[in-house]
A and B are shown apart, each in its own frame.
Chain A
């Protein structure tokens, strides 16, 4: 699985958009970009994933560059409850057969009031 690079920490004002970057320059053609987050000591929570097209769901948007070497997770209106460590993970999709997640150190997003 490709390696990812994320900034260790970011701040965001409450109500503003939070844009979390991730570099994955060695990504392969069959690898997806996944985002999870972990609110302090809780179980990680799935946010979104994509292959090459931009994706949006009720939680966030995922923007993947055309060369797929980087991506940005966007939380459109950050709230204090979005304060968490955000993990960007690149992984091939084997349809559930063997899909372990390899977590890096992630980005600690601190939403400020």
Chain B
């Protein structure tokens, strides 16, 4: 158990819909990272938040957005969903000192 929690575990929805994925970081971690893992693209970095502020952006689509709240939990919002958005979405939290990332169990999104 990494200490990072993600909800929901599974999500099935239809094309065109909007979903919200939630992540709670480990106690004391200020950074939250979001990654997408699809069969054809592997693990890809999407976006990072550090203490409530966006810090780095990767290959995140404009239809996707994220935020980190004052209690440090984060949400990833995916809108206008397409079949190709079906993937595993992982959240990770980071320690400022040791600079390692601890990953949550992921949310499996299926878009039908």
Contacts and interface: CB of A to CB of B under 8 A. Distances in A.
Interface of A: 34, 38, 41-46, 49, 87, 93-105
Identify the interface centre among B2, B43, B88: most chain A CB within 10 Å of its CB: B43
Interface residues of B, number: 31
A45 B2 contact: yes
SS class, residues of chain B in contact with chain A:
strand
Contacts of A98: 48, 50, 55-56
B102 A46 contact: yes
Contacts of A46: 100-102
Contacts of A44: 43, 90, 92, 101, 103
A43 B45 contact: no
A43 B42 contact: no
Contacts of A105: 42
SS class, residues of chain A in contact with chain B:
loop
Nearest to B94: A96
A57 B94 CA distance: 19
Nearest to A49: B100
A43 B67 CA distance: 21
B9 to A, nearest CB: 11
A102 B58 CA distance: 10
Given A44-B43, A100-B33, A95 B2 contact: no
A43 B50 contact: no
Nearest to B47: A100
B79 interface: no
A24 B30 CA distance: 30
Contacts of A100: 33, 45, 48, 56, 58
